[in-house]
Amino acid sequence: MQKPASPEPYGNPYIAGVLLGLTLLASFLTLGTGLGASGALARVGAFLEGLIVHTHTLSSAYFGKWGANPLSYYLCMMLVGVFLGGLFSATLSRRVHWGIEKGASASRSLRLILALSGGILAGFASRLAGGCTSGQALSGSALMLTGSLVFLIFLFAGGYAAAYFVRRQWDDSNILRP
């Protein structure tokens, strides 16, 4: 049996940052607005609800404003493109591995429950706040919005604070893969 090929090295983060900035600039110049993800996911939710209770969805104060086809929105296409582009890139660089990454002391079911709970909480909070991390950090900061800049500072501070408490859980030598 042949040993699997090692993955390609990661790309240069500075080049990736410049490319992301140019993508954001292109979005502002062509669409007149920035980037984000929560708007697209909310529209997917509206679409799915519309499949089940169409008239209720259209009369909803939240989902109804998007009309009968909520997926006809640029962020929905961007979301699909980001997913497919990331999958394509990861496949080319041999970084696609199926499995559940978790710390040594967490069970698979606990990891999945916590991931799902965190995703639901983050999604709810992003809709409550009127935008997700991408929209606030990228688009809001590019426009020099005070709220977005404050958000970005506290996002990194919160991330570093949380990492301090769980750093031993994610030691590379403890990650289990099937």
The most distant pair of C-alpha atoms in the chain lies apart, rounded to whole Å, by 59
Q: Name 79's Cβ contacts closer than 8 Å, sequence gap at least 6.
A: 37, 40, 41, 44
- Structure confidence at residue 35 (pLDDT): 85
Distance (Å, whole) CA 133 – CA 39: 12
pLDDT tens per residue, the chain (178 residues)?
455 567 788 888 999 999 989 999 998 999 888 888 888 888 998 999 999 998 999 998 888 888 888 998 888 898 899 899 989 988 988 888 888 887 777 788 988 998 899 888 988 888 887 778 878 888 888 889 898 889 889 989 998 898 887 776 665 554 545 4
Distance (Å, whole) CA 14 – CA 62: 39
- Structure confidence at residue 11 (pLDDT): 83
- Structure confidence at residue 53 (pLDDT): 92
Indicate yes or no: pTM above 0.75.
Answer: no
- Structure confidence at residue 67 (pLDDT): 86
Q: In this predicted model, what pLDDT tens digit does every residue of 142-153 receive, in sequence order?
A: 889 898 889 889
Burial tier of 123 (Cβ tally within 10 Å: 0-12, 13-18, 19+): middle
